[in-house]
Amino acid sequence: MWLLLIVMALATYRLTRLVVADTFPPVLWLRDRLVGGWRELTLPEMEKNPLPVLDDHDPAVDVARLGSVTMIDGRMHRYVNRQRWVPFWLAELLSCPWCAGGWVALAVTAGVWAVAGLAMPVLVWLAVWAVGALISAQEWA
């Protein structure tokens, strides 16, 4: 049972990380349209586009093909507009590791419960959510 909980928590972490932070191109493309806002440039974006030299106190500048870019905490970021039809709550849900982690943990728990059965699925869901979200919210993860 302990091994199953650990595996579920790690699956929740990995899937949550995929939803809120990974730069895998299809996921990033979808997240850009659903979440929008400032996000760190990916390595291909930095390699393919000439970027201005900025520091954290400079205002945003427009760069061809990227739009507005600026330095935030020493890293180059770009501003992406989310689609007009996307509600604010969905954008928040997909950008917050705690929020997204809860729904991912619910899906993982429901899947395991349907296939293998679980004692006390609500408690398992809360425990898996806590561990998965804690890990995915870390800067090093």
pLDDT given for residue 53 in this prediction: 80
Q: Exposed e or buried b for every residue in 36-54, given b needs 16+ CB within 10 A?
A: beebebeeebeeeeebeee
Question: Model confidence over 29-78: pLDDT tens digits?
Answer: 999 999 999 999 998 888 888 888 887 777 888 887 888 888 888 888 89
Q: Does residue 16 have a pLDDT over 70?
A: yes
Q: Please state, for a pLDDT cut of 90, what percent of the chain lies above it.
A: 54
Beta bridge partners of 61: 69
Task: Report the alpha-carbon angle 8-20-106, nearest 5.
Answer: 35
With cut-offs at 50, 70 and 90, classify the pLDDT of residue 141: low
